[in-house]
A and B are shown apart, each in its own frame.
Chain A
Amino acid sequence: MKTLEKIEVDALVVGSGIAGLQSALDLADQGYTVAIVEKNPSIGGKMISLSKVFPTLDCASCITTPRMASVSHHPRIQALTYSTVDGIKREGKTFTASVTRKPRYIDEKECISCKRCEEVCPVYLPDEYEQGMGAKKTISIPFTNAIPQYPVMHPEHCIRCGACARACPKDCLEFLQEPAPVEIKAKAVILATGYETTPMTAKKQYGMGALPNVISPMAAERLLAPHGPYGRVLRPSDGMVPGSIAYVQCAGSRDKSIGIPYCSRVCCMYAIKQAILLSGSLPIADITIYYMDIRAFGKGYEQFYNNARAMGINFVKAKVARITEDDKHNPIVRIEKQEGTSAPEEVKHELVVLSQGLVPACDGTKFNLGVGNNDFGFVQLSDETSSSAVTAGTGVFAAGTVKGPRDIPDSVVDAGAAAMEAAAYIRRL
């Protein structure tokens, strides 16, 4: 192990999605020093991989990249990427976090992000950033606007051919690099660890992820994104342009059978948004949204929903009982309509998106700082009518979807409030 790197700051922010970035900026802009720890190789969280965002249809990059750039240029913010928080201890008024920087197998001080290593690497891997639809090299920069622009090498896939090391003009490949320990001392902690989507395998009636043309909404985001895996919307099984696309709402929310009884708040809106974007890129495609209730409750959302209906997107109040496929991998959706007719119907589509819900990405209680969870594993507020960010752990605050599903505007507002609670707490110390 390398020698221990020590960092001392006012606040530690765990997670660098939009909530973590915003909390860090709102603290640093008030004069506090902040360290962000992010487990992925780039800051930006889930939002940076989205296509466009409702209800304004700004491209997600246009909103996220400047936030990422502000964080990376901020004199009072340090972001530790590709690093994990292994534990946090409270000692008096100070938190001490033990953090591990995972090895990228390059010398970050020397790397000039020229991508030569990536160009010459002969081993391709499925690209998780593209939801497995594209390929990346075993040594590669995670995505176009990643911050920092360092490549990451995956030793488990490396064939030790040495091509990257020979191509590197700065001789910065370090095949023997080891994890590096970091100790961060902070006065307050903000948990902004975000969410994951309910897994494709959550519901056996919906194909368990085995039907190639039944995809996740994150995959649909990548298909629609400007730098997506195919550069256009194609279905995975055969690369056909889908002429009929269906959204299955509440596929992982409001469903006691999978232990997720709550509403995930964002799925109605992202489905409507994707439907609008799809009708832009595939003008002749039929797009159907099977739903229970359309929950367009935010500012400008109802109008957004009305626009989608005016564009000809087909909203059908129906519960989807089962999804199978025909011999051409066309998904067959068995629905029970709750309007019009009562008999169950089977409808053939060419691509189906499961509007998955949101589940916690990280257990907020694992650091044993007194933070409590609600029944569904999200961080519980200690008094929700007097603060939106104070947890039961003294000095520990929560921002964004770590407390439960919420959309981007709500997360940004929420993160500012978490920063303010942390600032007040630090001042009182």
Chain B
Amino acid sequence: MDEKVKEEASKDNYRQEPKVGVYVCHCGGNISDIIDVKAVAAALAKYPGVTVAREYAFMCSSNGQDLITEDIKTLGVNRTVVAACSPSLHELTFRGVLQRAGVNPYLHEHVNIREQASWVHKLDKAGATAKAIKLAQAGVEKVLRKDALNAIRVAAEQRVAVIGGGAAGMKAALAAAGKGLEAVILEKTPRLGGKLPELGKMYPSGEEGAAVAKKLEDLVLAEKKITVHTGAEIDFVSGFVGNFKINFKKPDGSSAQVKAGAIVMATGYEHYKPYKGEFGYGEDGTVLTLPAFTALMKKLPAGRLEYGGREIKSLTLIHCVGSRQVEGVHKPQADGKINDYCSRVCCTAALHAANQLKEKYPGVRVYDVYRDIRAYGMKHEEYYDKASKDGVLFMRHNELDQPVVVSDRTGHTVKVKDVLTWGEELEFKTDLLVLVTGMTPADISLIKSQLKLPSGADRFLQEVHPKLRPVELANSGIFVAGAAQYPMDSTEVMASAGTAAAKAAILLAEPDIPLEPFVAVVDEHKCTGCGLCPPECSYDGALMMGEHNGKKVAVVNPALCKGCGACVAVCPTRAINVAGWTLEQFDAMVDAIAKE
């Protein structure tokens, strides 16, 4: 095994007499307002195998954790069931409690009586309580059949691969290198900088986007620990935490590979592209997107605003094009979904553009058609203020009353049902229309499908939890930085990329990484070598046919196995089990739940 996998999982049963402690959490009312937690604890206290059952306001708090530690010390509790929230929130918290108290952390069972009982049976308190008791009893049956497990340790490449060389990618690489890690940036275009150079003058610093790109690029190129591959076309990404392999083509056509312990997805965004006919877009040249207009403004001489051979005397900004879309009002995107999210940066960007325009061409009339002005940042409000003072005329419409644009050779006629003038239907002529377009995620379908990365309904990469694990993807060892996660401005990108690098550095702080031991285990005596299971396995190399004592059997690579259980389901002889989730445990849980 070239992955240098150290399999330490002991197959020994936990030999001590099982003493189960059951802890029922109130979740500060989330559970106890519906479920009679005292009744649950009382019922469990009498259940066979249970040494002690308690209830407490917040089991996850320090006091709650101390209750468990105390029972381990004084009552000899050696297995725990915590009936509380979802295991995705706090299973790790309680495993930590067991570990600190000297008990194998996998002898814990987390029973979800919040999402699965109190939240879904709000109108049936007695039923919810009965269900919580059953679920907790099933948890006891399961934990009684658990084995002590050890994390699988995998040696990790001390290197971070950063996919994308824009602001987020450069910052993530710089931050990782700052911590002493090697970083490799893979950028598909021929240069670093991403969208920065197109941005024009940035708010609120006033720096040119190109200058910011140059500043970051100079830092990256001066850093010895960073390797940059521009023009890199990624072919294939594989592997797992600690041992990712990214195969890519260089501009000269040759193939190369980067091995990395962690991956930072800094793949950025695309500007929303209006469809043909959206507010007249694409029909003649006088409907521009905001990015196109920004690029144009940089090039045009001061004095008289001319475009397409005509003098532009008035200009109209229409906000929320491609953002905050509403079902039934807006045309769905290619995937059938609407962009119902706010793109966060466009309001201030539009105000900033309007101000620059007014500075350069004070005579041009500017109309701003919006729904809400979301100038949320520290100095953003000043842009709004300045625009109002400089005579930008604001009109506000409701989402159901979209502005209507009729274009002809003389320009555009815009109709707005303006709530600021109490629903007046306003109609005015304008020479140039600028659509304030939002952000959409960049197309990373290849990497997403190869690494099975999760995205939300908004198609951006989806973090595990916005507060607990805000830059981690569900795939262990893969982090997200910048606008690949959600629209954000440049300072927010710096924060996001810095944190992504911090999480990578924490992951790689030790030379080897612990992996969950919940992997398939084959009982070689029961396995008949029938070969049904390998075709079911979705993870390359995780399960193959091999030999054991001269007998053909299924063989698992624990570093690659994700414990999905597909092999367990097809095995005709029940020879495969997922450690920590065995068929015997499930049988006992079902029996406990079905018992009268």
Q: Which residues of A approach B to under 8 Å, CB–CB?
A: 18, 26, 29-31, 53, 55-56, 58-59, 61-63, 65-66, 68-70, 72-73, 144-145, 147, 149, 225-227, 254, 261-263, 265, 293-303, 306, 317, 338-342, 374, 376, 378, 381, 384-389, 404-405, 408-410, 412-421, 423-424, 427-428
Contacts and interface: CB of A to CB of B under 8 A. Distances in A.
Given A388-B494, A417-B495, A265 B376 contact: yes
Interface stretch (B237-245, B417-425, B515-523): B417-425
Nearest to B345: A297
A413 B495 contact: yes
B499 interface: yes
Given A29-B509, A69-B65, A72-B62, A385 B180 contact: no
Given A225-B28, A384-B205, A389-B498, 11 more contacts: A62-B60, A296-B374, A298-B344, A301-B342, A302-B324, A341-B422, A404-B377, A413-B492, A416-B470, A417-B502, A420-B179
B491 A388 contact: yes
A381 B372 CA distance: 28
Contacts of B212: 385-386
B466 A144 contact: no
A145 B62 contact: yes
Contacts of B372: 293-295
A364 to B, nearest CB: 14
Contacts of B27: 59, 62, 226
30 contacts: A30-B179, A53-B467, A61-B58, A61-B61, A62-B30, A62-B85, A62-B90, A68-B61, A73-B96, A145-B57, A147-B61, A226-B57, A227-B57, A261-B382, A263-B377, A293-B373, A295-B376, A302-B324, A302-B342, A303-B340, A306-B340, A338-B396, A381-B491, A385-B207, A386-B212, A386-B219, A386-B494, A387-B494, A412-B499, A416-B502
A130 to B, nearest CB: 15
Contacts of A70: 96
Contact of B62 (A65, A225, A263): A65
B294 interface: no
B353 to A, nearest CB: 18
Q: Which of B61, B93, B468 has the most CB of A within 10 A?
A: B61
Contacts of A31: 509
Contacts of A340: 422-423
B29 interface: yes
Q: Give 4 closest A-B pairs by Cβ, nearest first.
A: A417-B498, A424-B178, A416-B499, A226-B28
B489 to A, nearest CB: 9
Contacts of A389: 495, 498
B506 A29 contact: yes
B583 to A, nearest CB: 32
Contacts of A408: 467
Interface of B: 26-30, 57-58, 60-63, 65, 85, 89-90, 93, 96, 100, 171, 175, 178-180, 202, 204-205, 207, 212, 215-216, 219, 324, 340-342, 344, 372-382, 385, 396, 419-420, 422-423, 456, 458, 460, 465-468, 470-471, 485-486, 490-492, 494-499, 501-503, 505-506, 509
Nearest to B177: A424
A109 B489 CA distance: 48
A69 B494 contact: no
- Of A56, A342, A414, the most chain B CB neighbours within 10 A belong to A414
Given A297-B374, A413-B470, A59 B499 contact: no
A295 B374 contact: yes
Nearest to A411: B467
B549 to A, nearest CB: 44
Contacts of A297: 342, 344, 374, 376
Contacts of B496: 413, 417
Contact of B61 (A145, A254, A387, A388): A145
B63 to A, nearest CB: 6
A384 B381 CA distance: 18
Contacts of A405: 378
A144 B498 contact: no
Contacts of A427: 178-180
A408 B63 CA distance: 24
* Candidate in A56, A69, A301, A389 with the most chain B CB atoms within 10 angstroms: A69
Nearest to B176: A420
B381 A262 contact: yes
Contacts of B219: 386
Nearest to A409: B466
A302 B495 contact: no
Contact of B467 (A58, A225, A385, A423): A58
A61 B30 CA distance: 11
A302 B347 CA distance: 15
A37 B494 CA distance: 26
Most-contacted residue by chain B among A225, A341, A423 (CB, 10 A):
A423
A385 B62 contact: no
B490 A30 contact: no
A417 to B, nearest CB: 3
B422 A385 contact: no
Contacts of B171: 386
A50 B100 CA distance: 29
Contact of A376 (B28, B378, B460, B498): B378
A18 B470 CA distance: 13
A412 B499 CA distance: 9
A416 B479 CA distance: 13
Contacts of A262: 378-381
Contacts of B456: 299-300
A342 B422 CA distance: 7
Contact of B470 (A149, A265, A412): A412
A417 B504 CA distance: 12
A145 B65 CA distance: 11
A122 B525 CA distance: 72
Given A145-B61, A301-B342, A303-B340, A424 B378 contact: no
Given A413-B471, A420-B175, A298 B486 contact: yes
A409 B58 contact: no
